[in-house]
Amino acid sequence: MNQYILEIIYLIASVTFVVGLKMLSEPQSARRGNLWAAFGMTIAIVGTIFLYQSKDPNTQTSRETIKLAFIFAGIGLGTIIGWATAKKVKMTAMPELVSLFNGMGGACAALISLLEFHHNVGHPERISVIMAGMIIGSVSFSGSIIAFMKLNGTLNKSYRLPNYNIINTLLMIVTIGAGVWLTVSGSDSMSMLLLVFGLSILYGVSFVVPIGGADMPVVISLLNSFTGLAAAFGGFLYGNQVMLTGGILVGSAGTLLTVAMCRAMNRPLYSVIFGAFGESSAAASGVSSTGGSIKDISISDTAVLMNYSKKVVIVPGYGLAVAQAQHVIHELEELLEERGVEVKYAIHPVAGRMPGHMNVLLAESNVDYGKLAEMDEINPEFASTDVVLVVGANDVVNPAAKTDPSSPIYGMPILDVENAKHIIVNKRSMNAGYAGIENMLFYDPKTSMLFGDAKDALTKLVAELKTM
């Protein structure tokens, strides 16, 4: 009887996962979608603890010997740590928190495989599932930790060994080969199992370390799909429908998001993994290689220009997140709207360091979701825009993506800000973006450079506007 009730609980939980994922697709319903999915996971966990009965006599455990105290202690400790971390972390640090939590999911899947290995020796079909879950989960864990370290500044550089692509490929082949040998040989060697585990951890590190920070949104999505896939293998192993459903949903969503972001960059996934950008770096000076020059603009002139505009489009980038200027830019938006200026935000799919980074950042400052426009929606409007304010964005507004076939970003869809009547770019310096190339937008006659920290410059701009 208990088993039938548990199956119904799993079905309900699976439905809440699907409903929650659907609701996450809209900013207005995302919070409720997250709560629905959390509710489904909660009832699945509680149902498993009290109603699960193993079908395998080798793993059957009597009610009296179940260490519920340890189970609830683990749940309680994890809940407290997760809650405290989520409450403490600022929205600007959300990318690294997502990476950390994703890594914990991968570690969980890998540990399940390690614990179940000896119980299933002699069953190649089950060992194959265990090996797949352990390898993928371990790669996701170590890769996510490296991504976390890159995003929080612990690892500031992308380290590339000579012929690192060949090294990574050989490491992957050896890891998979060792896993296949354990599967077909029927060996119960703990040393061999730990070798596969160690190689998987090492591959996750070597896989992510060479990848630059600007590609982190794609990497996070890819690692997220790995974690989902590893969880799905755990569902296969235990015959657990809710683990299987949740893993498939996470894996497929992560994969689709990875593909979508690669398309937004007009780059195949292998070019992200093997590092097509950042091989060389060319810092720009005040004069371009084509002989153009830049012109700067003062805070007061910027305020006058924006004050007498009818339509202003703000393009946020990673620099906005670094400066934590999301609240002051919302204040600027409200101030302009009080004066009858139409204000929108142009969001590029890969702006920032995680999928939806700019959306999350602006949501923290209570920017109306209706004012956030995706690339395809906003591009036709730039021609009728009086002023575009670019804050901390670089490669996603570089016209070289459309005009220079030799550019490493050629073909990448960008925001067509060059079509606006006036462009103001806020940057700390003239340093090149992650692609390591000059941004020809800066030398456009319609472009003016507002140098300085984003938060400081925008605060002064707001103060200047208030005097008008």
Do residue 269 and residue 126 come from a single domain?
yes
Residue after which a domain boundary falls, among 241, 276, 311: 276
Please tell me the total count of domains within the chain. Answer: 3
Tens of pLDDT, residues 125-143: 999 999 999 999 999 999 9
Which stretch of 9-13, 87-91, 307-311 has the lowest confidence by average pLDDT?
A: 87-91
Does 292 reside within a domain? no
CA torsion 338→342→346→352, rounded to 10°?
-10
Do residue 69 and residue 95 come from a single domain?
no
Tens of pLDDT, residues 27-54: 778 889 999 999 999 999 999 888 876 6
Residues 358 and 352 sit within 8 Å (Cβ to Cβ) = yes
Tens of pLDDT, residues 199-234: 999 999 998 988 876 677 888 889 999 999 999 999
- Res 11 pLDDT > 50: yes
The residue range of the domain holding 260 is 91-276
- Res 409 pLDDT > 80: no
DSSP secondary structure, 178-215, as one string: HHHHHHHH----HHHHHHHHHHHHHHHHHHHTTS-GGG
Does 282 reside within a domain? no
Which stretch of 40-49, 90-99, 104-113, 246-255 has the lowest confidence by average pLDDT?
A: 90-99
Does 287 reside within a domain? no
Mean of pLDDT over the chain: 86
**Parallel, antiparallel or unpaired: strands 447-451 and 387-391:** unpaired
pLDDT for residue 161: 74
Would you call 395 a catalytic residue per the annotation? yes
Do residue 67 and residue 82 come from a single domain?
yes
Residue after which a domain boundary falls, among 64, 88, 112: 88
- Res 251 pLDDT > 90: yes
Does 127 reside within a domain? yes
pLDDT for residue 274: 64
Do residue 79 and residue 113 come from a single domain?
no
Does 340 reside within a domain? yes
Tens of pLDDT, residues 157-191: 667 777 878 888 899 999 999 999 999 988 888 99
Do residue 73 and residue 95 come from a single domain?
no
Please give the helix or strand (H or E) that residue 68 lies within, else none: helix 68-88
Output the six-digit token pair for 409: 């970003």
Does 336 reside within a domain? yes
- Res 63 pLDDT > 80: no
Residues 420 and 387 sit within 8 Å (Cβ to Cβ) = yes
Does 174 reside within a domain? yes
- Res 79 pLDDT > 80: yes
pLDDT for residue 217: 80
- 266 in helix, strand or coil? coil
Residue after which a domain boundary falls, among 73, 88, 103: 88
Do residue 447 and residue 348 come from a single domain?
yes
β-sheet bridge partners, residue 450: 426
- Res 450 pLDDT > 60: yes
Do residue 62 and residue 31 come from a single domain?
yes
* CA dist., res. 313 & res. 375, Å (int): 12
Do residue 220 and residue 256 come from a single domain?
yes
Does 285 reside within a domain? no
CATH number of the domain residue 375 falls in? 3.40.50.1220
Mean pLDDT of 328-357: 90
pLDDT for residue 335: 95
pLDDT for residue 355: 76
pLDDT for residue 273: 67
Identity (one letter) of the amino acid at 280?
Answer: S
Do residue 24 and residue 141 come from a single domain?
no
Count of helices and strands (H, E) across the chain: 17, 6
β-sheet bridge partners, residue 315: 390
pLDDT for residue 286: 44
pTM for the whole structure: 0.79
Do residue 260 and residue 370 come from a single domain?
no
Instruction: Name the active-site residue from 395, 416, 444, 453.
Output: 395
Output the six-digit token pair for 59: 């793993």
Do residue 383 and residue 330 come from a single domain?
yes
Do residue 168 and residue 58 come from a single domain?
no
pLDDT for residue 280: 41
pLDDT for residue 88: 85
pLDDT for residue 420: 94
Mean pLDDT of 385-397: 91
Mean pLDDT of 376-381: 94
